Structure 1
Amino acid sequence: MTPRLVCFDLDNTLIDRDAAFLKWARWWAGVSGLDESAVDWLVAHDNGGFRPRTELFALARKRFVLAAPVEELVASYNEEHPLFTWVEPAVLDGLAELRAAGWRVAVVTNGETAQQDLKLEYTQLVDAVDHVCVSGTVGVRKPDRRIFELAAAGAGAGLDGGWMVGDHPAYDIAGGINAGLHTILIGGRTEEPAADHRFDSVLDVFPLILSR
């Protein structure tokens, strides 16, 4: 029997990306000689990580009169920000329980290879799952069904009876539906498409899937 698959988004699903960005912003403002208003500006213009980094730092360079070129600011951010991420031990425990129960687990995330790989390594999530699909690495993004097919192949699993867990309806939930997966939305977004289930915390996901 082919093992079944559970796909997890990374940012604001397995890890609290927004909280990590806030920690980084406070640190960066401090080392750059800026005050708390700079932190508020960064958070307001970050768009939850969906604003392209080159665009964000082009704006920041102009706003704060920074000498470094945009490319250098982005490269530094990509190295620095992952060091402010963390994963809750209970999340690692939940992933271990899924795998012990016979599920194959994959991280399926949109993003740049270098930054997402650093996050996965720093949080040790790379060792807690069976496979990782980063869009910047595989050349296809959620909600495209193909990224889920790649995740399933890499994890040695099938898509039938599988799950997609994430915080973004247009990428995670739509992608899961495109791949024929059951879907779980994390957080309070209300956009369509609707997921099969919604929880405030990823920790509520594990008992649901383990009961199936």
Structure 2
Amino acid sequence: MPLLMLDLDNTLLPRDAAFTAWAEDFLARHRLPPSELDWLTTIDGGGYIPRSTVLGAARRRYDLDLSLAALLADYRRGINAHIHCPVSHVAALRAARTAGWTLAVVSNGGTGPQVEKIRRTGLDSLVDAWVVSEEAGCAKPDPLIFDIAARRCGIPLVGDWTASAWVIGDHGPADIAGAQVAGLRSVWLHHGRPWSELGYRPTLTAAELPEAIGLVLAAPAQLAGYPGS
């Protein structure tokens, strides 16, 4: 059975849009200038900067009379309240399931926040399994995390199982490099960005998730050989 492994933030879920919505609300609640949105989105780093670093810097910049723990709790409540799975993404996932694909979420991050996103957005009913780096003890691009995802989907890691497995993600060093070293084909969601990594590249590229899933569903009869070829 073919396996499709999908990144969570900015792949399945529009995480950056949710962060922007949280940041706008944060600035309004603390009566801070809306122009500070640029500073917050810059230090956020697309979610790849530790939350303690981002919120600790915000606490100092705005001289907030709140503990870092309180800010972290407020952030987690706020961003998860703003996050959702777009209707077009749900339809694409259902199309993949109908076509016979097994689906897994493979995400770097903290177990609690990531699993809460999966459950809150209804992804738990659309995929067969998920793996979060904290609970797995390994993170993308480590190939082990993809092995764990396959096992949780009931796929035996025997023979050339990777020949019918794909990865979709938006982050080159984690998702696409991880797919490459694991021997998996990949689709990179470019979100309007040029590919800039040296030494490896995705098998295919797409602007958004529905397009990426469509490419994967059409690809088995068209592509052969080593991932990235």
Work out whether the TM-score is over 0.5: yes
> What TM-score, normalized by structure 2, do the two folds share?
0.87
**Which position in structure 1 is the counterpart of 2:117?**
119
RMSD of the TM alignment (CA)?
1.3
**Which position in structure 2 is the counterpart of 1:95?**
93
**Which position in structure 1 is the counterpart of 2:61?**
63
**Which position in structure 2 is the counterpart of 1:209?**
216
> d(CA) in 2 for partners of 1:209 and 1:56?
36
Per-residue deviation at 1:205? Answer: 1.5
Per-residue deviation at 1:165? Answer: 0.5
> d(CA) in 2 for partners of 1:139 and 1:82?
24
Question: Looking at both structures, which has the greater relative contact order when contacts are Cα pairs under 8 Å and sequence separation is at least 6?
Answer: 1
Is the Cα–Cα contact under 8 Å of residues 83 and 119 in structure 1 kept in the other structure?
no
> d(CA) in 1 for partners of 2:30 and 2:112?
24
Counterpart of 1:39 (choices 37, 40, 44) is: 37
Task: Report the residue type matching 2:196 in the other structure.
Answer: T
In the TM superposition, what are the counterparts of 1:1-212 in structure 2 within 5 Å? 3-157=1-155, 158-187=161-190, 188=193, 189-192=195-198, 193-211=200-218, 212=220
Per-residue deviation at 1:160? Answer: 3.2
Partner SS, residue 75 of structure 2: helix
Unmatched segments (≥5 aa) in structure 1: none
Unmatched segments (≥5 aa) in structure 2: 156-160, 221-229
Per-residue deviation at 1:118? Answer: 1.6
Ranges of 4+ aligned residues in structure 1 off by more than 6 Å: none
Task: Report the residue type matching 1:111 in the other structure.
Answer: G
> d(CA) in 2 for partners of 1:155 and 1:138?
15
Task: Report the residue type matching 1:185 in the other structure.
Answer: W
Q: Taking every aligned residue pair, what percent have the same amino acid on both sides?
A: 35
Q: How many pairs align?
A: 210
Per-residue deviation at 1:76? Answer: 2.1
